[in-house]
Amino acid sequence: MQALAALLEVEEGRPVAEALAGAERGLSPEDRRLATQIVYAVLRHRRFLDAFITTRIPLSPKPAVRMVIRIGLCQLWFMDRVPDYAVVSSAVEQARTVDARAAGLVNAVLRTAIRTPFEPREPGVRYSLPDWILERWQARWPGDWETMAARLNEPPPMTLRVRKDRATALADLASEGVEAVASDWLPDAITVRSPLRLERSALFRQGFLYVQDQSAMAVTYAAAEPEQTRIVDLCAGVGGKSFHLADQHPAAHVTAVDTAAERLARLRENAVRLHLAGRVTPVLGDARAVASQEHGGIVIVDAPCTGLGILRRRPDIRWRRQPRDLARFQILQRELLDAAVGTVEPGGIVVYSVCSTEPEETTVVVNAILQAHSELVPEDVAQLLPEPWTRFREGHWLLVPPGIADLDGFFIARLRRTA
């Protein structure tokens, strides 16, 4: 029932993480993991599931009944933790709680699904993606789009940034019963291959681990500028990049700006755990207004975006976004990047990043800023990262397609202010 409740909240517009946090209260760790897996699986495969439902039910069922069927289908086809008979039985019981008359319908649809393979021809249905997104990727990556689309429907890896000797950290995790391996992409990254309850890990509690995708870690590598002592993170969120920057620049102070008090509250908590409270200062405010009051030799703009590069990690996004959102976010991104230019000191650098690879949010934004500010010069991002990243070099920029090499889709640009 908790997965059903969370999914219905997501349908009403609540972010998936918030919906899960509310629904999972009081559950055992095992039940919490199962509820989370069900919610994310349903969101990933929603279009595929609905296409099958449409072939079996001539009239659209009530939203709660449809969601019960989606959950059942997802467990039958994409999960293996619960036997088929138990999935059907549980779904029928859930149906009775939302609409007693629907129990027979749910039973019939799920039993049909057990007997009948479903192999839709349309790529958008097969990979459960909106057509407009898939069409863009087909045009830009004709040889890779199908691999990308399929990968986006797999659970993403859990990657951690390690804040101590990596070999020692891996040994410490092994002693806690956690299987993890060193990353080939970054020297301070590891990938977890077994269940890990962070709150139970001494390594985590002591501040030696931070959950972060490697593409997000790459942003701070692009900001390498050892002599700089003042850093401004204009879109800090809960602090992932601010903390990484502080670790990479031990003599620097980081000002972390964000518009949301809740995110900054989490940033403060994280800063205490990581023993960085004295070196990372949160500032509540809009970066476009705060920028004139803050100055630094390194300025980071990890801008709000459509999030089309992290559909594997945030499957709900694929159903929220529309093509018009690209233009809407572009306006904000240009304003934030322009504010960053006013924040960075002469000789310093601005790093712009988004978890999207769409041109409207990436090259179009950066090229517009370069045209407006002759004092800016682009610099090669890939040369600041380990060799494997060079495969994603796009001119001066780094562009990681979503679903490739177990990395989130990301765009990173580095600009130096010469005067």
Catalytic center residues: 355
Q: Look up residue 65 and give its two tokens.
A: 């009944």
Instruction: Give strand ranges (E) for 12-140.
Output: none
Query: Whose CA is closest to 348, among 192, 226, 263?
Result: 226
CB 407 within 8 A of CB 213: yes
Q: Rounded to whole angstroms, how far apart are CA atoms 251 and 247?
A: 9
Maximum Cα–Cα distance across the chain: 72
Residue 21's contacts (CB-CB under 8 Å, 6 or more residues apart) are none
Handedness of CA 169, 170, 174, 176 (dihedral sign): positive
Q: Rounded to whole angstroms, how far apart are CA atoms 156 and 123?
A: 21
Handedness of CA 244, 192, 37, 399 (dihedral sign): positive
Q: Look up residue 260 and give its two tokens.
A: 């949301």
In the chain, the amino acid numbered 325 is: D
In the chain, the amino acid numbered 224 is: A
Q: How many CA atoms lie within 13 A of 403 on its CB side?
A: 19
Q: What are phi and psi of 397, to 5 degrees?
A: -90, 170
Alpha helices by DSSP H, 194-323: 202-205, 214-221, 240-248, 261-273, 287-290, 317-320
Residue 44's contacts (CB-CB under 8 Å, 6 or more residues apart) are 128, 152, 153, 315
Residues facing 415 on adjacent strands: 350, 378
Residue with tokens 């559950």: 27
Q: Look up residue 102 and give its two tokens.
A: 């629907």
